[in-house]
């Protein structure tokens, strides 16, 4: 019952997800049984009491107080059970254990940034150790977002100017999808990432590797993961212009002027995207990237230079 994936629910990735599933199945089956009874009664009455003569006028039925009481009392008991159970699991879902490993999450249109206390930062992949509670401290740089991992049955809105958090403890190594579930603009449906759950040793190795100083172009390539929802690196069309072969070319702008795509232009376009709009594109790039560090910005420019 709910221990594995089914038509209805994806494979649970945490123990707590299993608890949510048990509750889901309880409500599901009780509902199905009651629903089936109602439908059967309905169909039976429809057939049994079909009008046979136009002058047929049936007498009113004496209403049974006992039956009425049953209809009110039994559902009340059922929903109280479901409420209490749901309350119990809800509190567990939103109470992170004090020894949780904490990761900072920053959401912005339309990407996730995961930063680790050891100094590492990742964008499309959230690495977590298996078998250890992980707490995400999340905030948003612009509008509301919502962090959702279907396999973990956890979700919470990500709000500007306040930290919200979810926690989970992945049970098995594997990859699990992250969705944004609060509408946040054009690329809302592209605001996905992956939880990569790995063993403690692999996780430690990954953190150590990531926390080193990287060459600018490599760092830039990682940072660019945030940009890929809109900007391609292979020349294909997107919401925004492709980065392939961009550096050093002359760019026509919507105001009719032409600008050389040099370092300054690239930097300006990242920090203040509304300043110069490339011809043929909408002025919809979020301004949130101005919060990137100088090192990250330099890395981005270095990376874009390599895309010939």
Partner 1 sequence: MSQDHGHHIVPVKMLLAVIGILVFLTILTVALAQVELGIFEVPVALSIALTKAGFVVMIFMALKWDNKVNATILAVGVLCVLIFISFILIDTEFRGDLSNTTEATIMDEQRMEQTLDGREPDRSDISFNRQ
Partner 2 sequence: MSHSAPGLNYLNHAKGFKSWALTLDHKRIGIMYMVAVSLAFLAGGILAILVRLELLGPGETIMGPDTYNQSFTLHAVLMVFAFIIPAVPAVMGNFVLPIQLGAKDVAFPRLNLASLYIYLIGAVIVMFALVNGRIDGGWTFYAPYSTSIGNGILFVTAGVFVMGFSSILTGLNFIVTVHKMRAPGLTWNRLPLFIWSIYATSIVQVLATPVIGITVLLLFLEKAFSIGIFDPALGGDPVLFQHFFWFYSHPAVYIMILPAFGVISDLMGTFSRHQVSGYKFVALSSVAIAFLGFLVWGHHMFVSGQSAVSSVVLSLITYLIGIPTGVKVINWVQTMYRGSVQLKSPMLYAIMFLFTFSIGGFTGIMLGVLAIDVHLHDTYFVVAHFHYVMMGGNVIAALGGLHYWWPKMFGKMYNETLAKIAAFLVFFGFNLTFFPQFIMGAQGMPRRYYDYLPQYEFYHELSTYGSWVLAAGLFLIMFYMIASLINGKKAGLNPWGALTLEWTHTTTPPDHHNFHDTPVVTRGAYDFHLAKHLFEYGGEVTELDLGGDGTAAAPEEAPVPNEPVA
Binding site for partner 1 (CB under 8 A): 91, 94-96, 108, 135, 139, 141-143, 156, 159-167, 274, 286-291
Question: Is the CB of residue 178 less than 8 Å from the CB of residue 44?
Answer: no
- Give 235 or 283: the residue with its C-beta nearer to partner 1: 283
Binding partner 2 by CB under 8 A: which of 112, 116, 123, 148? 148
Q: Which two tokens stand for residue 145?
A: 């977002």
Contact between 63 and partner 2 per CB under 8 A: yes
- Give 61 or 258: the residue with its C-beta nearer to partner 2: 61
Smallest gap from Cβ 285 to partner 2, in A, equals 13
Q: From the list partner 2, partner 1, none, pick the one residue 29 interacts with, judged by a Cβ distance below 5 to 8 Å according to partner type.
A: none
- Give 167 or 247: the residue with its C-beta nearer to partner 1: 167
Q: 98 by DSSP, 3-state: which?
A: coil
Which residues from 246-275 bind partner 2, rule CB under 8 A? Answer: none
Contact between 113 and partner 2 per CB under 8 A: no
Contact between 277 and partner 2 per CB under 8 A: no
**How far apart are the two ends of the chain, measured CA to CA in Å?**
54
Contact between 111 and partner 2 per CB under 8 A: no
How far, in whole angstroms, is CA 223 from its chain's centroid?
19
Q: From the list partner 1, partner 2, none, pick the one residue 174 interacts with, judged by a Cβ distance below 5 to 8 Å according to partner type.
A: none
Question: Is the CB of residue 170 less than 8 Å from the CB of residue 134?
Answer: yes
CA-closest candidate to residue 158, choices 92, 104, 96:
104
Binding partner 2 by CB under 8 A: which of 1, 3, 15, 42? 42
Mask of contacts with partner 2, 199-238, x by CB under 8 A?
----------------------------------------
Smallest gap from Cβ 138 to partner 1, in A, equals 10
Contact between 45 and partner 2 per CB under 8 A: yes
According to DSSP, residue 12 is labeled P
Binding partner 2 by CB under 8 A: which of 2, 13, 93, 193? 93
Diameter of the chain measured on Cα atoms: 92
Contact between 8 and partner 2 per CB under 8 A: yes
Cα 193 from Cα 180, distance rounded (Å): 9
With tokens 């306040």, the residue in question is 162
Smallest gap from Cβ 109 to partner 1, in A, equals 9
CA-closest candidate to residue 287, choices 185, 178, 182:
185
Q: Which two tokens stand for residue 237?
A: 């069309």
Omega of the bond prior to 292 within 30 degrees of 0, cis? no
Q: Which two tokens stand for residue 203?
A: 């996780």
Rg of the chain's alpha carbons, rounded to an integer? Answer: 28
Smallest gap from Cβ 69 to partner 2, in A, equals 11
């Amino acid at each position: 019952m709910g221990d594995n994936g089914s038509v209805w629910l994806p494979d649970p990735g945490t123990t707590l997800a299993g608890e949510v599933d048990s509750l889901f199945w309880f409500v599901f089956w009780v509902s199905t049984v009651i629903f089936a009874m109602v439908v059967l009664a309905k169909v039976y009455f429809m057939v049994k009491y079909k009008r046979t003569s136009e002058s047929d006028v049936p007498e009113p039925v004496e209403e049974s107080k006992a039956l009425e009481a049953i209809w009110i009392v039994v559902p009340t008991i059922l929903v109280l059970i479901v409420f209490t159970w749901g309350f119990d699991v809800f509190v567990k879902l939103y109470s992170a254990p004090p020894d949780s490993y904490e990761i900072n999450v920053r959401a912005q249109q339309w990407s996730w940034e995961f930063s680790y206390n050891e100094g590492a930062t990742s964008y499309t992949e959230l690495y977590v150790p298996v078998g250890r509670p992980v707490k995400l401290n999340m905030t948003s740089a612009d509008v509301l977002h919502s962090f959702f991992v279907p396999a973990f049955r956890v979700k919470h809105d990500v709000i500007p100017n306040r930290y919200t958090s979810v926690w989970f403890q992945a049970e098995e190594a594997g990859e699990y999808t992250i969705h944004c579930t609060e509408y946040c603009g054009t690329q809302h449906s592209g605001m996905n990432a992956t939880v990569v759950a790995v063993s403690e040793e692999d996780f430690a190795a990954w953190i150590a590797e990531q926390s080193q100083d990287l060459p600018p172009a490599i760092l830039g390539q990682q940072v660019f993961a945030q940009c890929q929802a809109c900007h391609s690196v292979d020349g294909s069309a997107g919401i925004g212009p492709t980065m392939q072969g961009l550096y050093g070319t002359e760019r026509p702008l919507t105001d009719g002027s032409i600008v050389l795509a040099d370092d300054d232009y690239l930097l300006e376009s990242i920090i203040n995207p509304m300043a110069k709009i490339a011809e043929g594109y909408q002025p919809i790039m979020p301004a949130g990237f101005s919060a990137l560090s100088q090192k990250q910005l330099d890395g981005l420019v270095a990376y874009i230079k390599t895309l010939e």
